[in-house]
Amino acid sequence: MLILLAVLAAMFGFLFGTDIGVISGALPFLKKEFVFTAQSEGFMTGAVPFGAIFGAVVALLTVDRFGRRPVLIFSSILFAAGSLAAALAFSVWSLTLARLIIGMAIGVSSLVAPMYLAEIAPARIRGAVVSAFQLMITIGILAAFVVDWAFSYSGSWRFMLGFSLIPACICLAGILRAPESPRWLVLAGKEKDARTVLKTVQPDISTDRVDTIVREIEDSHPSDPSEESWSRFREPRLRGLLIFSVAAFFLQQFSGINVILNYAPQILDKAGLSGIANELIATAGIGAINMLVTILSMAVVDKVGRRPLFIFGFAGAFASLAIIALLFQLDNPHLALLTLIALFAFVFFFAISLGPLPWLYMSELFPLALRGKGMAVASLSNWICNFLVVFLFPALAASLGESMTFGMFALCCAFGLWYAWSFAPETRGVSLEEIDQAIADQRTKSAAA
């Protein structure tokens, strides 16, 4: 049951990936049918992260009041509606509106699905289970690239954009039958239901262990409403965790990953790899590496730990992006293969570290009473930065050139290396309630001082 629930929740990551990845292959054909300016292209491409900003706000206002499951049902309905609208688009702006709806769905699910996964998973495998969300994002991206390639010969961009309707319906059917998060059930006063879910998800768990988990959840939830106030983020410990989570997503996005995923065929064309079919095949290669290395990340994150992996990822991403910037500066079409290899290397370091770890940290670090608020702020940081990077790239590449643009991304990763070394915490093998207790103990010590 745990595996089934993890796959179901992670399917929202698959939808996330397909709707991000599909536009890269569809864009060349959309340009043949619709007239784009640099601004309208940037906004249409960036409409998904822009809509996700609003989706994160919706999730913040609803996830603690109504529960994780109803909010994920709403998200799957938005996914289905947006995918259908994109496939039927008749203008640049109708397509942009459809992608805004899809973005709202992604904004909701990207906050709630990792939360749901973190709250149903045992501590010993929580890293791998939550990382399944990131894995499904990469599988979705790869699937989108393959669908783009399959329909590239006919130029059927409507089938490309409408592909997400299928997994959206699967998600809706699955989440309608899924149980609620046991932690939310305890806080909602439904202790009996929570015990049933815990027994269902972990059949071998003892009654004593269930009692302990329920008691820890109850103890972690403050009786004083002020404990759930936004003002608590002024406390040094919580403020530090919030800043770290926001910064992790800022650095993730300004590594340039979504520029590569959204504009891969154009980047490869500039690098000297000609032919739309060749570009889409190479783009699918990027998606395949992204997926396979994310599986590797799932296998090692609970063994190696979060902090060493974060440092390793930033070091490799910096080196890869610096090489890409240098190759674009040389502007030699005979070096196109080297550029592709450097792009593959960057995707490797991103997928093993920079991709999954901010989502994992976000779901682990905040105490239960403030988890929805903390994750919403971190998620907003992700989507605002995502939108800015994707929206600005066409203009930056046109004015500064690809070399300078990728050089800026490399500098962000260099800063990320220092930041991860200085501030990244380690949460491997620690239960969510133990993390909550550590924060509470720190608060007690600060009050006593």
For 317-340, give the DSSP string. Answer: HHHHHHHHHHHHHHT-GGGHHHHH
pLDDT in tens, 389-413: 888 887 787 788 888 989 999 999 9
Q: How far, in Å, CA of 72 to CA of 21, rounded?
A: 21
pLDDT in tens, 414-446: 999 999 999 888 877 766 666 666 655 555 555
Domains of the chain: 2-178+233-448 (1.20.1250.20)
Closest CA to 268 of 276, 5, 12: 276
> Which DSSP category does 352 fall into?
I
Q: How far, in Å, CA of 319 to CA of 40, rounded?
A: 33
Q: Let me know the angle formed at the C-alpha of 288 by 414 and 391, rounded to the nearest 5 degrees.
A: 55
Q: What is the pLDDT of residue 305?
A: 86
| Residue 293 pLDDT greater than 70, yes or no | yes
Predicted model pTM: 0.74
Q: What is the pLDDT of residue 327?
A: 87
Averaged pLDDT score across all residues of the chain: 83
Q: How far, in Å, CA of 316 to CA of 336, rounded?
A: 20
Q: What is the pLDDT of residue 349?
A: 95
Q: How far, in Å, CA of 253 to CA of 409, rounded?
A: 9
| CB count in 10 Å sphere of residue 340 | 20
> Which DSSP category does 234 fall into?
G
Q: What is the pLDDT of residue 309?
A: 93
Q: What is the pLDDT of residue 222?
A: 61
| Residue 124 pLDDT greater than 90, yes or no | no
Strands (E) in 199-280, as ranges, are none
Extract the tokens encoding 168. Answer: 């959206």
Name the residue type at position 350.
Answer: F
| Residue 163 pLDDT greater than 70, yes or no | yes
